């Protein structure tokens, strides 16, 4: 498995038979200024969205039209994307699991707001906020938390799915901050590897992962990876 951080909450996950973009906010993302969009989306088979905010939906419509990728999203967001001309959508909702050839993905809870768009005088709900848990046949299970605060039912997510890789928001203000994110990883989850996200982009959120790194010190069983935007981690 190869995991490439594309800035903010955007990641590319490469496994045999699938290349998945999660929350592909690249255009207009200050944290992705040095990332080439064409390279980032080359060979993409799927796009998976945690929720409907613009800094997570990002370039989904454009990428889906250019690549023919299947977009995975909650039912309301998927319906809206279909009306934007996305040809292949696969919709789910909290607790549900979607099955694809190379992986399954389950929608789990996240403590965050969602979005409503108004177009041509019509309001469109973009559904709930979720985390996403990806299971692969011969690769470690990955949990992208989306945007969230800590919550005790993360322990249930760990019990049900046993995620080995955690992608964790740490930027504060709109998500939990670094110290609280570290507590979530230490108290409720048993990750073997964790990667921080949702920082270093907009000036009103934390610009570095320092608080998270310090708070994770002494967690010997969990490997902390803090890639630069555009850098790939192989697991």
Query: In this predicted model, what pLDDT tens digit does every residue of 49-84 receive, in sequence order?
Result: 999 999 999 999 999 999 999 999 999 999 999 999
Domain assignment of residue 19, given as a range: 2-228
Close Cβ partners of 4 (under 8 Å, ≥ 6 residues apart): 11, 12, 14, 40, 227, 230, 231, 232, 233
Q: Report if residue 235 sits inside a domain.
A: no
Token pair for residue 199? Answer: 């920082």
Q: Report if residue 175 sits inside a domain.
A: yes
* Cα distance between residue 222 and residue 213, in whole Å: 12
Scanning the structure block, which residue is given the tokens 């249930």?
A: 156
Q: Report if residue 77 sits inside a domain.
A: yes
Q: Report if residue 139 sits inside a domain.
A: yes
Instruction: Output the pTM of the full model.
Output: 0.97
Task: Report which DSSP code applies to 53.
Answer: S
- Residue 45 reports pLDDT greater than 80: yes
Listing DSSP states for 130-156 in one string gives EEEEEEESSS--EEE--S----TTHHH
Q: Report if residue 233 sits inside a domain.
A: no
Q: Report if residue 153 sits inside a domain.
A: yes
Split into its structural domains, the chain has a count of: 1
Q: Are strands 122-125 and 103-109 parallel, antiparallel or unpaired?
A: unpaired
Among 154, 226, 166, smallest CA distance to 192 is for 166
Residue 128: which CATH number?
3.60.15.10
Give Cα separations from 139 to 9, 14, 63, 211 (angstroms): 21, 10, 25, 30
Q: What is the pLDDT of residues 167-224, one digit of tens each?
A: 999 999 999 999 999 999 999 999 999 999 999 999 999 999 999 999 999 877 899 9
Q: What is the pLDDT of residues 110-165, one digit of tens each?
A: 999 988 776 766 677 899 999 999 999 999 999 999 999 999 999 999 999 999 99
Among 164, 108, 176, 172, smallest CA distance to 138 is for 164
């Amino acid at each position: 498995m190869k995991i490439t951080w594309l800035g903010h909450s955007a990641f590319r996950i490469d496994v045999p038979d699938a290349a998945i973009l999660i929350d592909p906010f690249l255009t207009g993302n200050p944290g992705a200024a040095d990332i080439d969009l064409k390279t980032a989306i080359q060979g993409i088979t799927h796009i998976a969205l945690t929720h409907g905010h613009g800094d997570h939906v990002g370039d989904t419509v454009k990428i889906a039209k250019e690549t023919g990728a299947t977009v995975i999203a909650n039912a309301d967001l998927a319906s809206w994307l279909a009306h934007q001309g996305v040809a292949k959508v696969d919709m789910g909702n909290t607790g549900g699991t979607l099955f694809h050839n190379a992986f399954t993905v389950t929608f789990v809870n996240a403590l965050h707001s969602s979005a409503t768009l108004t177009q041509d005088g019509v309001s469109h709900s973009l559904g709930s906020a979720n985390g996403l848990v990806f299971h692969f046949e011969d690769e470690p299970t990955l949990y992208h938390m989306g945007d969230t605060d800590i919550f005790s039912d993360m322990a249930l997510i760990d019990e049900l799915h046993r995620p080995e890789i955690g992608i964790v928001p740490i930027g504060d203000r709109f998500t939990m901050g670094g110290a609280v994110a570290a507590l979530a990883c230490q108290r409720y989850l048993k990750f073997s590897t964790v990667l921080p996200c949702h920082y270093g982009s907009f000036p009103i959120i934390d610009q570095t992962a320092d608080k998270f790194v310090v708070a994770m010190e002494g967690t010997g069983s969990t490997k902390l990876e803090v890639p630069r935007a555009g850098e790939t981690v192989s697991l």
